[in-house]
């Protein structure tokens, strides 16, 4: 029985889950809840709930592909007061209001969608992402607050969360304690991946997990966030935030590798258009890397 935990956010984590569901028996997704833009940001501000968008994407990635609910969750309204909102985001907000418990709301949505794994938020409360950025000469340039603002910045030296001591759900900690494999990324390095690692309890659980930690590197730079980064720079950023990984999985002839001091596995994992990871290829590569 393969127990796999995947962490991150956005389209990158959803792509990983589409792959992981092909070989894992037990799946837990730990999802960043630092988003403050779009439909998620509006619902977060209106109802004081974690932003639902990335969580919705992950539920859909694990859902029954034949279910009408799965297609409906991704429907985005294009007119009226609901313009810009995804139907699934509204369902999650409604379930949270009805149950009074956001984690229960996610579990109920998972049952509705026929999801093959669990989706949990990285923290039990909404958090704000904060970044320290370098100045034009490499010196201290100040700080930036908010995921959208951070993602639009370059020269990021590091990220943290406000509040700094935000708690992680017990389900996330238990999943990491029992994992055979932990898949990190792909996705925006600072605003998705490290927004999860920045949770102190998760960082400690990642250090203690028995699962082999695999970093799935991005196929191209995330501009301006990681302009000029090679694979080694990604690994250095993870380490600077307290996360040591066991192996890096890279697409050949994608980002330059640089000077790595951890195992690097080169496998074709990209779609033919090179714009994302192919679920079947990524699944085959990750299965080979099970601890």
pLDDT, mean of residues 85-95 = 95
* pLDDT for 134: 81
pLDDT, mean of residues 189-206 = 97
* pLDDT for 84: 86
Q: In the chain, what are the domains?
A: 3-124+165-288 (3.40.50.10680), 128-160 (no CATH)
Confidence of residue 154 (pLDDT cuts 50, 70, 90): confident
CB neighbour class for 205 (10 Å; exposed up to 12, middle 13-18, buried from 19): buried
Residue 174 vs residues 39, 95, 169, 180, 245: alpha-carbon distances, Å: 30, 24, 9, 12, 19
- The DSSP letter of residue 52 is -
* pLDDT for 141: 66
* pLDDT for 291: 63
* pLDDT for 190: 95
CA distance 157 to 173: 27
* pLDDT for 137: 60
Average pLDDT, the chain: 93
**pLDDT(138) > 70:** no
Strand order in the sheet with 3-8: 118-121, 26-31, 3-8, 181-184, 212-216, 247-250, 263-266
* pLDDT for 45: 87
**pLDDT(241) > 90:** yes
Confidence of residue 4 (pLDDT cuts 50, 70, 90): very high
Q: What pTM, to 2 d.p., does this model score?
A: 0.95
Q: What is the pLDDT of residues 267-279, one digit of tens each?
A: 999 999 888 999 9
* pLDDT for 140: 61
pLDDT, mean of residues 64-91 = 92
Q: What pairing do the DSSP bridges indicate for beta strands 128-134 and 140-145? A: antiparallel
In three-state secondary structure terms, 104 is helix
Confidence of residue 93 (pLDDT cuts 50, 70, 90): very high
* pLDDT for 139: 60
In three-state secondary structure terms, 13 is helix
Helical H segments across 114-199, by residue range? 147-151, 170-177, 194-197
Q: Percentage of residues in the chain with pLDDT exceeding 70?
A: 97
pLDDT, mean of residues 105-122 = 96
* pLDDT for 135: 65
Q: What is the pLDDT of residues 14-69, one digit of tens each?
A: 999 999 999 999 999 999 999 888 888 899 888 989 999 999 999 999 999 999 99
**pLDDT(142) > 90:** no
């Amino acid at each position: 029985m393969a127990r796999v935990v995947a962490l991150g956010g956005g389209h990158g984590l959803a792509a990983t889950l589409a792959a992981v569901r092909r070989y894992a028996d037990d799946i837990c997704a730990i999802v960043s809840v630092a988003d403050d833009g779009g439909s998620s940001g509006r619902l977060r501000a209106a109802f004081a709930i974690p932003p639902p968008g990335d969580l919705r994407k992950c539920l859909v990635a694990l859902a029954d592909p034949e279910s009408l609910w799965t297609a409906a969750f991704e429907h985005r309204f294009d007119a009226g007061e609901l313009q810009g909102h995804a139907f699934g985001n509204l369902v999650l907000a409604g379930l949270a209001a009805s149950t009074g418990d956001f984690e229960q709301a996610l579990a109920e949505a998972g049952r509705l969608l026929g999801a093959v794994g669990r989706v949990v938020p990285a923290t039990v409360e909404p958090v704000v992402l904060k970044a320290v950025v370098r100045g034009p000469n490499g010196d201290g340039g100040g700080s930036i607050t908010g995921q959208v603002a951070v993602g639009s910045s370059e020269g990021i030296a590091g990220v943290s969360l406000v509040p700094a001591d935000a708690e992680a759900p017990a389900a996330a900690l238990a999943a990491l304690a029992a994992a055979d494999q932990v898949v990190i990324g792909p996705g925006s390095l600072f605003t998705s991946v490290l927004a999860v690692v920045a949770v102190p309890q998760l960082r400690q659980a990642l250090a203690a997990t028995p699962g082999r930690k695999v970093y799935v590197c991005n196929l191209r730079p995330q501009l301006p966030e990681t302009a000029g980064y090679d694979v080694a720079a990604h690994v250095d950023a993870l380490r600077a935030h307290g996360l040591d990984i066991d192996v890096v999985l890279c697409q050949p002839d994608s980002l330059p590798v640089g000077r790595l001091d951890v195992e690097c596995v080169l496998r074709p994992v990209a779609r033919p258009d090179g714009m994302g990871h192919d679920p079947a290829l990524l699944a085959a590569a990750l299965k080979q890397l099970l601890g």
